[in-house]
Structures are given as structure tokens and as C-alpha cells.
């Protein structure tokens, strides 16, 4: 006996519990991928039994093995081409007749077959009794009863698999008798086939002949013209006799064979498979309650996804922040190292920004897995079909579109539930029009800047509605143009409701989450690096303005103001000790910028400053200086204590806690003022006027420098280059640059606008940025920005996932191009029309 690895292919109807058995057999040792060239998921796993290594290939769930769907073709080709040692057909024992149809077809292929009668407990409970031995003889295959969700029968199934794989003699499988007329034609075709390929075994030849009669395109393409002609003759001959196409006769005979076997070997006392499910459905799919129940469940899914996902998202964000911080210490502070910037800003920033969505995605897939495994998804499709039908799609497309409000990436991944390629692509292409969560910060920045308070909510609502309308219209357009064709017939089995297994849904969730991490992650890593390069290179060497002189000027102005304080608290007007003390502080700050806090240089700078100030303290008027510094420090401490308390306890203005903290701070300040009114006034003046205006000026210089650098980089230049194209939309180069950033992730738009407008770290709450935007743009342009961001090419993650899910760069680039064109045309119309009408 050879000890080679046994390859098992798992076949079965959808909803037969196949994936549960697969999980039972392989546990966590699974491999998920796609079959080459098609979007059909390929799952493989491994296990050991009786000292034998067993590889389990999970075939797509199918009802038949025709060539009419990709799934069926894939399943068939795996069986024929990869020649697994054993095929295990998972049969829902409580729905035997329909499930055996596939078994019969596998049997006809002549491969070693083992039948797993799954859910045999349910079948027995419903009064179905099997004579397994008899049935096994009829079908020519061993039968093992299993209960997938309890893991029962797994061992016996593996025993049967090993036995079937190591059997010396060929399995004795019966042929189906298709009746005299059909058999005659099968013989004719088989004879013609045999003369052409003499080596093929008889069983395979017969199978080919049956398939040809069934009108199987895939088989027909592979045979000679002569055989095709003979087949056509046979077909028309049979059609004349029966009045039905040959495949209907063949299907009917197969079902006849099954009925015969069942009548002999199965006793059924009651038909109860659906009673419980029917009772639930009477409510869940009813005309009145169906929709509210569905909407309620969807709300729950959203709620779960976006509220439970929040804390872990925070942890991941913190982790990447920490990681970036750690990496930064590898370089001297303020270092211009390109590698550091690439690692921290490019890779950690980019990939971290994507991984942050993982909790959302896992939760979303958890919810979807529960809805799917319980059987509710089919009901949701039933409920939404009526509406979706109007736009040329059917019920199932609604689920991905709904998920699109959260994030387009999982939404596009959810289109996997759509079997039809046209429906799937249509849904995939229009889903990004549904306004995702990442676009919200853009609206949140712009709407309050340009529109009065009473218009905030209506404006936001309008934007979302525009997205929905655009998605609907685009779907309709796609279905009547490139995805034309008779509206895909909607046929779907409504499986009985089932309680999903924990193992099943967790595995479901994990394998999809892992795909997201792996595939989207690698592509996103690449694009992150590219975008990082574009916003960082080329580096500007000589600047148009002398920023260093400007910084020095600001410093000098500050020191001048400080000198003016001398007389205010009893220092001699000509004294320079205060100026020198402040100078020492500025020097320390400049020096410390070059070091990490943990480096000795950092502490040394502080020591030098302390020494300098101590020396100044011994000079004339030193006591006044020390008093000034002491009071200033006390004010800072009191204010810091208040800010710290607000931040830490999340105090909100108007609450008693906030009031208490506020009055504590005020009392401390009042005490200081009472003790040293003059010094206090000078210190306040220093902190609130001199110091803050110096900091403001220094920041302005830094930001102006940043803006100049950005304008010099590739993305800045692209922004400038795009200006003539964007002009008709009312956009300038700054918006152009931000739009490029928005392609990385929509929310980057806000940060990028912040950089362009030199307001440093901007977020959607940034008032400074709003003021600048207001000065530069009209409300019409503001609306156009939002419209463009809503409609235009989704972020790179969406493009990457479309590429992955459609298995073609073509569709991904089509999506990118079409949405960009749509956004452009739409925004152009709105802006031009608005300008003519004088709106905004």
C-alpha cells in the first residue's frame, strides 16, 4: 500500500452544511484563495487520519455539474483534471432527493465517491428513515451519516475516505438508464467519440456523450466537427420524439433514478423539514413586517460594526503611533533621513491607516457570517428584490450597497454573495458612490465653514442622497449598456433557518479578514509608498523666501517686547537680564529640538539654561527676575492643571465638574495676582501676548516653508498642472493637490488641505482652516468640492479590492476612470450652471 497523500474533493449543494464539514475535517488548517482566472473562492485544508496525510479541497457549492455557471464548471474541472483520490458529496439528508441529483452526476463521472448524509439527526427527527445499505448499493457509494455542527461522523467519514482511496478494485458504480431512445443516441455519439480517442475509458466516453446531448458548451468545444454533427442529429431526433429538449429528458431520468432509489430505501412518515422555518418566515418575509425587521437588523449590524469597532480601532491607532515613535528614536531628532520618513510617514502611516479598519471589517464580516449561516440573507434578498428589481438588479445586491455607507472595501468584498457576474460587477462598480465613512470628515470640515447652522443637516443629507441617487442611476445605466442582457433571472433557494456554529462564523470572519489584510495590504503598501514619494519629492534645496532670517526676525521682535517688560515689575529699564534669561530658554528649546528626550543632549540643554538663569539671578535685579520666572511658572502650572483635568476627565463646559476645575484654576491665579500684582501682570502679558505671538509667527514661518516644499513636490506640481483642468470646476491647485492625497484615503483630503494652507495638523474641527477656506472659496465651490469628493474615484483601497474581486485590472481601472469622469462632468455642470445663475 502506498502511503502517498490522499486528495479529497468536497462537493455538495449550497446550504448542505458543506462548509461545516470542511471545518470539522480541517480545523484551522485552511488556505483560502481563488481559482485561477475566476472569482470563485478556492479553499483547501489538510488533516491526518490513520497516519495518512489528507488534503481536502472544498469545491464551490452547486446543484449540478453543468457548464452553465462558473462554480459548476470549476467543481467539474477539479474533479476531472485534478483527479482527486476521492470525492465526498455532502448531502443534506433532510432534503435527500434534490441533493442526490448532484451525487448522481458525480457518480456518472466515475470517480471514487463517498456520500456524507449530513444533518442526519434532523432527518431522523423528522421521521425520515434510511436503509443506508440498500441506498449505498443503488448509488454505488459508501454512505456515512454525519452531523456537521456537532462534529459527529467525522471519524467515520475519514475512515470511508481512506478505504475508498486505497481500494484496489474500481468502485462498482451503476449507470443510469436513460431509456431506450436516449440510450441509442448515447451509443451513437459514444461510438463516434471512441473512434477518435481510443484510449479514453468507456465510462468517461459515456459521460462525454451524455454531456453532449445535454448541450454542454464546454464539452462541445472540445470535440470534433463530426461528433458535433452527430450530436445535433441526435438532439433533433430526441426533440421530435419527446417534444422537450434532450437535457430536460436527461434531468428527468436522473430524478427518476433517484426517486426509484428513494422509494426503495427511504421511509418518510411526515414532511416537516420546513415547518419551523415556515413559521419564522410567515413573520420575517411578510409584507408588513418583513421590511421593518430587515431594516432593524441592518441597523444592528451597523451599530455593531461601528460602535464595537471603535475601541480596538483606537488601540491599533495607538499601537502604530507608538511604533512610529519608537522608530523615530533610531534617528537623531529632526533628522531629514529619507528612510525614516519612508518608514514612519509612508509605510506605518499608509499601512497603519488601512489596518486600522480591520476591527470594523472583522465585525462586519462576523455579522454577515451570522446572517448568512443562519439563512436570513436569502430572506433579505427576498424582501429587497421588489425595490432592487426596478434598477435592474435583484435583492442580493442590496446588502453590499448598504455596507457601502460604512466602507466601500468590505462592501465590495460582500458582492461575493452574488453569483451572477453581471450583477456582481454592476454592484461592485456603483458601490463607491454610496458615501462611505471616510468622506464624512470632508463634509464635516466644509459644511460648517460655508453654510449657516440651519443648513448643516439638510446639506449633509443632500450629499448622502445624491450619492444614493447616483448609485441607483449608474446601476440602471450599467445594466442597460455594458451589462445589458435579459434581466438576470432571480432564483435562489431559501434554506431552512439554522443556528450558526461559533466555529463556522469565526472561521468565516477570519478568512475574509485575513484576505483583506494580506491582499489589500500588499497593494496598499505599494501605493502608500508611491504617494509618500509624490508628496515628499523632489526636495526643495533653495527656498524662495529666507525662512531662517524670518525666524530670527521673529525671535528678535520677541526679545524686544520682552525688554519692554523691564519697567513693569521693577527691573531697571536698561537691564538685560530678563532678555538674556528668555534668550537662554529659546536656545534651550532650539537645542532640544535636535534631541530625543531620552538623549543626554536634551537634559544637558536644560542644565545649561538653568545654569545661565542661576548666574543671571545673582546679578543686579536678579531677585526680580527670579520672582518673575516663579510667578510665570505658577501661572503655567495652574493652567496646565485645569487643561489636564478637562482632558483627562473629559469635562464638558457647563457641567459642575468643569465649573469646579475652572474656579480652582481662577482661585490659584487670583492668589498669585494678590501676592505680586506687578509681576503677575508682566508674566500674564509675557505669556498671553509676547510668547503667543512669537509662537504664532514661528509657526507661520514653518508652515509657509512646508507649503513651499509641497508645491515643489510631484503632487504639488501635479496640482499645479491640473489647475487648468480643474479651473472650470472652480478648483485651484491647492484643491488639486488635496484631491491627489484623497486618493490614498478620502479623509487625507482634510489633512492635505491643512498642509497646503499651512495650518499644520488639520482635522475636521480646525477653525483656522475653515477661516482660510472661507476667504478663498465661495459656497458654490465648497459644494462642488464635496460633490467631487463624493463622486470621484474612490480611494486606492477600493480600487485594489475591485481589482482583487473582479480579478481584472480592467474593471478596477474602468471604475477609477468612469467615476472620475462622472465626478468631473457632474461638478462641471453644477459649477458652471451655478456661476451663470449667480448662486453662491
Partner 1 sequence: MMNKHLPGAASTPRSGAHGAKPLAMVEAGKRVRLKAIQSGRELQARLAAMGLTPGIEIEVIRNQSGGPCIVAVRGSRIMLGRGMAHGIIVG
Interface residues toward partner 1, by CB under 8 A: 63-64, 66, 68-69, 94-98, 101, 128, 214-215, 244-245, 247-248, 251-252, 255, 259, 262-263, 266-268, 271, 273-274, 277-278, 281, 285, 287, 378, 381-382, 385-386, 389, 394-395, 487, 489-496
Strand partners, 53: 48
CB burial string 592-606: b at 16+ within 10 A, e below: beebbeeeeebeebe
**How far apart are alpha carbons 204 and 509 in whole angstroms?**
40
The smaller minimum CB distance to partner 1, of residues 394 and 508, is found at 394
**How far apart are alpha carbons 419 and 430 in whole angstroms?**
17
Sorted by sequence, the CB contacts under 8 Å of residue 564 that are 6+ apart come out as: none
| Least distance CB 206 / partner 1 (angstroms) | 19
The smaller minimum CB distance to partner 1, of residues 277 and 583, is found at 277
The smaller minimum CB distance to partner 1, of residues 251 and 462, is found at 251
| Least distance CB 71 / partner 1 (angstroms) | 11
In angstroms, what is the C-alpha Rg of the chain? 36
- Angle (nearest 5°) at CA 497 between 496 and 499: 135
Are 528 and 346 within 8 A, CB to CB? yes
Sorted by sequence, the CB contacts under 8 Å of residue 48 that are 6+ apart come out as: 54
Sorted by sequence, the CB contacts under 8 Å of residue 740 that are 6+ apart come out as: 531, 534, 715, 718, 719, 752
The smaller minimum CB distance to partner 1, of residues 130 and 306, is found at 130
The smaller minimum CB distance to partner 1, of residues 265 and 679, is found at 265
Strand partners, 31: 44
**How far apart are alpha carbons 174 and 662 in whole angstroms?**
89
The smaller minimum CB distance to partner 1, of residues 272 and 626, is found at 272
| Least distance CB 492 / partner 1 (angstroms) | 5
Strand ranges across the sheet with 113-118: 30-34, 41-49, 52-58, 6-12, 86-92, 113-118, 143-145
Strand partners, 128: 268
The smaller minimum CB distance to partner 1, of residues 237 and 340, is found at 237
Q: Which of 446, 431, 490, 467 is nearest to 798 (CA)?
A: 431
| Least distance CB 68 / partner 1 (angstroms) | 5
Q: Strand pairing of 30-34 and 41-49?
A: antiparallel
The smaller minimum CB distance to partner 1, of residues 238 and 558, is found at 238
| Least distance CB 301 / partner 1 (angstroms) | 22
The smaller minimum CB distance to partner 1, of residues 248 and 468, is found at 248
Q: Which of 94, 100, 152 is nearest to 127 (CA)?
A: 94
**How far apart are alpha carbons 467 and 402 in whole angstroms?**
12
| Least distance CB 239 / partner 1 (angstroms) | 12
Strand partners, 47: 54
Helix or strand or coil: residue 197?
A: coil
| Least distance CB 61 / partner 1 (angstroms) | 12
| Least distance CB 288 / partner 1 (angstroms) | 11
Which cell is 714 given? 510631484
| Least distance CB 113 / partner 1 (angstroms) | 18
The smaller minimum CB distance to partner 1, of residues 424 and 609, is found at 424
| Least distance CB 176 / partner 1 (angstroms) | 15
**DSSP-assigned states of every residue in 68-124:** SSHHHHHHHHHHHHS--SEEEEEEEGGGHHHHHHHHHHHHHHT--EEEEEETHHHHH
The smaller minimum CB distance to partner 1, of residues 260 and 526, is found at 260
| Least distance CB 126 / partner 1 (angstroms) | 10
The smaller minimum CB distance to partner 1, of residues 491 and 647, is found at 491
Phi, psi of 324 (to 5 degrees): -60, -40
Angle between helix 358-374 and 376-389 (nearest 10): 100
| Least distance CB 252 / partner 1 (angstroms) | 5
The smaller minimum CB distance to partner 1, of residues 184 and 271, is found at 271
The smaller minimum CB distance to partner 1, of residues 64 and 713, is found at 64
Task: Quote the DSSP letter at residue 54.
Answer: E
Q: Which of 579, 805, 828, 572 is nearest to 686 (CA)?
A: 579
Are 394 and 488 within 8 A, CB to CB? yes
**How far apart are alpha carbons 246 and 671 in whole angstroms?**
101
The smaller minimum CB distance to partner 1, of residues 67 and 88, is found at 67
| Least distance CB 32 / partner 1 (angstroms) | 26
| Least distance CB 375 / partner 1 (angstroms) | 10
**How far apart are alpha carbons 456 and 467 in whole angstroms?**
17
| Least distance CB 67 / partner 1 (angstroms) | 9
Amino acid at each position: 500500500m502506498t502511503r502517498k497523500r490522499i486528495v479529497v474533493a468536497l462537493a455538495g449543494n449550497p446550504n448542505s452544511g458543506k462548509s461545516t464539514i470542511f471545518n470539522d475535517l480541517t480545523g484551522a488548517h485552511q488556505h483560502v484563495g481563488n481559482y485561477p482566472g475566476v472569482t470563485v473562492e478556492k479553499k483547501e485544508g489538510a488533516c491526518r487520519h490513520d497516519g495518512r496525510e489528507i488534503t481536502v479541497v472544498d469545491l464551490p457549492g452547486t446543484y449540478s455539474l453543468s457548464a452553465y455557471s462558473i462554480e459548476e464548471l470549476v467543481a467539474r474541472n477539479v474533479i476531472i483534471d485534478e483527479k482527486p483520490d476521492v470525492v465526498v458529496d455532502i448531502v443534506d439528508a433532510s432534503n435527500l432527493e434534490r441533493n442526490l441529483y448532484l451525487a448522481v452526476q458525480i457518480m456518472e463521472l466515475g470517480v471514487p465517491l463517498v456520500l456524507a448524509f449530513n444533518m442526519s439527526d434532523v432527518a431522523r427527527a423528522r421521521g425520515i428513515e434510511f436503509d443506508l445499505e440498500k441506498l449505498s448499493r443503488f448509488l454505488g457509494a459508501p454512505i456515512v451519516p454525519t452531523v456537521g455542527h456537532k462534529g459527529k461522523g467525522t471519524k467515520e467519514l475519514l475512515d470511508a475516505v481512506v478505504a475508498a482511496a486505497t481500494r484496489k478494485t474500481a468502485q462498482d458504480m451503476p449507470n443510469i438508464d436513460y431509456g431506450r431512445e436516449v440510450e441509442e443516441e448515447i451509443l451513437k455519439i459514444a461510438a463516434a467519440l471512441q473512434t477518435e480517442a481510443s484510449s479514453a475509458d468507456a465510462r468517461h466516453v459515456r459521460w462525454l456523450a451524455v454531456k453532449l446531448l445535454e448541450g454542454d458548451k464546454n464539452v462541445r468545444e472540445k470535440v470534433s466537427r463530426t461528433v458535433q454533427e452527430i450530436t445535433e442529429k441526435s438532439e433533433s431526433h430526441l426533440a421530435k420524439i419527446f417534444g422537450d429538449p434532450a437535457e430536460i429528458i436527461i434531468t428527468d431520468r436522473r430524478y427518476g433514478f433517484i426517486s426509484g432509489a428513494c422509494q426503495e430505501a427511504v421511509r418518510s412518515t411526515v414532511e416537516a423539514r420546513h415547518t419551523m422555518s415556515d413559521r419564522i418566515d410567515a413573520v420575517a418575509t411578510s409584507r408588513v413586517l418583513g421590511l421593518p425587521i430587515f431594516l432593524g437588523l441592518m441597523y444592528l449590524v451597523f451599530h455593531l460594526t461601528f460602535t464595537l469597532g471603535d475601541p480596538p480601532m483606537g488601540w491599533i491607532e495607538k499601537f502604530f503611533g507608538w511604533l512610529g515613535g519608537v522608530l523615530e528614536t533610531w534617528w537623531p531628532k529632526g533628522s531629514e533621513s529619507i528612510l525614516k520618513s519612508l518608514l514612519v510617514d509612508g509605510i506605518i502611516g499608509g499601512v497603519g491607516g488601512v489596518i486600522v479598519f480591520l476591527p470594523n471589517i472583522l465585525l462586519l464580516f462576523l455579522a454577515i457570517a451570522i446572517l448568512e449561516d443562519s439563512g436570513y440573507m436569502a430572506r433579505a434578498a427576498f424582501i429587497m428584490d421588489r425595490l432592487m428589481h426596478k434598477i435592474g438588479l435583484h435583492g442580493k445586491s442590496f446588502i453590499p450597497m448598504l455596507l457601502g455607507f460604512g466602507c466601500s472595501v468590505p462592501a465590495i468584498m460582500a458582492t461575493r454573495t452574488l453569483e451572477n457576474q453581471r450583477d456582481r460587477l454592476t454592484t461592485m462598480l456603483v458601490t463607491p458612490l454610496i458615501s462611505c465613512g471616510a468622506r464624512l470628515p470632508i463634509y464635516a470640515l466644509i459644511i460648517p465653514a460655508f453654510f449657516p447652522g440651519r443648513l448643516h443637516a439638510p446639506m449633509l443629507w443632500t450629499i448622502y442622497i445624491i450619492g444614493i441617487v447616483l448609485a441607483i442611476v449608474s446601476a440602471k445605466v450599467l445594466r442597460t449598456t455594458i451589462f445589458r442582457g435579459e434581466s438576470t433571472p432571480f432564483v435562489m433557494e431559501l434554506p431552512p433557518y439554522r443556528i450558526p456554529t461559533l466555529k463556522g462564523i469565526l472561521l468565516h470572519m477570519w478568512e475574509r479578514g485575513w484576505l483583506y489584510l494580506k491582499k489589500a495590504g500588499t497593494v496598499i503598501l505599494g501605493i502608500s509608498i508611491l504617494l509618500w514619494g509624490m508628496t515628499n519629492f523632489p526636495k526643495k534645496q533653495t527656498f524662495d523666501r529666507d525662512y531662517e532670517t524670518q525666524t530670527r526676525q521673529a525671535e528678535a521682535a520677541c526679545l524686544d517686547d520682552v525688554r519692554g517688560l523691564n519697567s513693569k515689575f521693577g527691573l531697571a529699564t536698561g537691564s538685560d537680564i530678563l532678555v538674556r534669561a528668555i534668550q537662554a530658554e529659546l536656545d534651550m528649546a532650539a537645542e532640544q529640538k535636535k534631541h530625543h528626550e531620552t538623549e543626554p543632549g536634551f537634559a544637558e540643554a536644560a542644565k545649561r539654561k538653568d545654569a545661565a538663569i542661576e548666574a543671571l539671578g545673582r546679578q543686579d535685579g536678579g531677585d526680580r527676575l527670579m520672582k518673575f520666572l516663579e510667578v510665570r511658572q505658577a501661572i503655567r502650572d495652574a493652567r496646565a492643571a485645569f487643561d489636564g483635568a478637562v482632558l483627562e476627565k473629559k469635562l464638558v463646559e457647563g457641567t459642575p465638574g468643569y465649573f469646579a476645575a475652572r474656579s480652582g484654576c481662577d482661585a490659584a491665579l487670583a492668589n498669585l495676582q494678590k501676592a505680586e500684582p506687578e509681576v503677575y501682570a508682566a508674566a500674564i502679558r509675557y505669556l498671553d501676548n509676547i510668547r503667543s505671538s512669537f509662537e504664532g509667527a514661528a509657526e507661520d514661518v514653518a508652515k509657509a516653508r512646508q507649503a513651499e516644499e509641497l508645491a515643489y513636490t510631484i503632487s504639488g506640481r501635479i496640482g499645479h498642472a491640473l489647475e487648468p483642468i480643474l479651473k472650470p470646476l472652480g478648483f485651484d491647485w491647492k484643491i488639486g493637490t488635496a484631491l491627489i492625497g484623497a486618493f490614498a484615503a478620502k479623509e487625507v483630503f482634510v489633512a492635505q488641505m491643512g498642509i497646503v494652507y499651512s495650518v499644520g495638523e488639520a482635522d475636521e474641527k480646525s477653525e483656522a482652516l475653515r477661516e482660510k477656506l472661507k476667504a478663498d472659496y465661495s459656497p458654490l465651490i465648497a459644494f462642488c468640492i464635496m460633490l467631487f469628493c463624493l463622486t470621484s474615484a474612490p480611494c486606492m483601497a477600493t480600487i485594489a479590492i475591485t481589482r482583487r474581486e473582479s480579478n481584472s485590472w480592467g474593471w478596477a481601472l474602468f471604475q477609477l476612470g468612469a467615476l472620475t469622469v462622472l465626478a468631473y462632468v457632474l461638478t462641471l455642470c453644477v459649477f458652471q450652471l451655478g456661476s451663470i445663475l449667480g448662486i453662491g
